[in-house]
Amino acid sequence: MTWRRVLNWGVFAVLVVCAILVRNHQIDKVELQEPIDVRGAEGQRLIGRNIAATLTGITITDSVIGDYGDDHPEIYAAHKGWVLAIFSIDAQSTVSDDKTNTDLVIAENTYGTRYMGIVPELQLTPGIPNQGYAGTFEIPASALQSRASFRVTGSGNPSRDSRLVFDVTLANAQRVPALIVKKRI
């Protein structure tokens, strides 16, 4: 074997090892599409890339009543064995006009917002602080003893935003028999 052949095989082996290292350390597609989490607790001001917010309250109720001044209030009740968890925030967008996008994670379960339209959602405007409801979730009553994560993004595409994650204890939430809302979206 000549020194050239040894050198060629050595360079080939180094290139193969480099290719394997690059392949094993690539970012997979999920990591590219997930938002950047900014974590905190209820009452703490979290500042992300496109939104800043403070979770100001959690209300647990069996029903929501939309009383808009007419003779026919709209009543939305949770299913048997379930309750409605309604989250209030003080938020401000930094870049775009949009509604807040929220979800609630309890253990391995992710709950999306329910009853769109009955509880007015928070509209964000850049630079203007806004207070209001950011999410209404129907959850099992048994989940009230659990820790949860309330997640908020301020744009329609969460993969391009940071996500504010508030760690909450649902057992500490305010409990009311019914929540009455007075205005539509």
Domains annotated on the chain, with CATH: 35-181 (2.60.40.1240)
Which pLDDT tens digit goes with each residue over 158-174?
A: 666 788 899 999 988 99
Which amino acid, residue 117?
A: G
Mapped onto helix, strand or coil, the DSSP state of residue 9 is: helix
Say if residue 51's pLDDT is above 60: yes
Residue 63: which of 179, 185, 181, 150 has the closest Cα?
Answer: 179
User: What is the reported pLDDT for 14?
Assistant: 92
Mean pLDDT across the stretch 80-102?
83
Which pLDDT tens digit goes with each residue over 120-138?
A: 667 777 778 888 888 888 9
| Percentages (nearest 5) of helix, strand, coil residues in the chain | 20, 50, 30
Do residues 104 and 149 make contact, with C-beta atoms less than 8 angstroms apart? yes
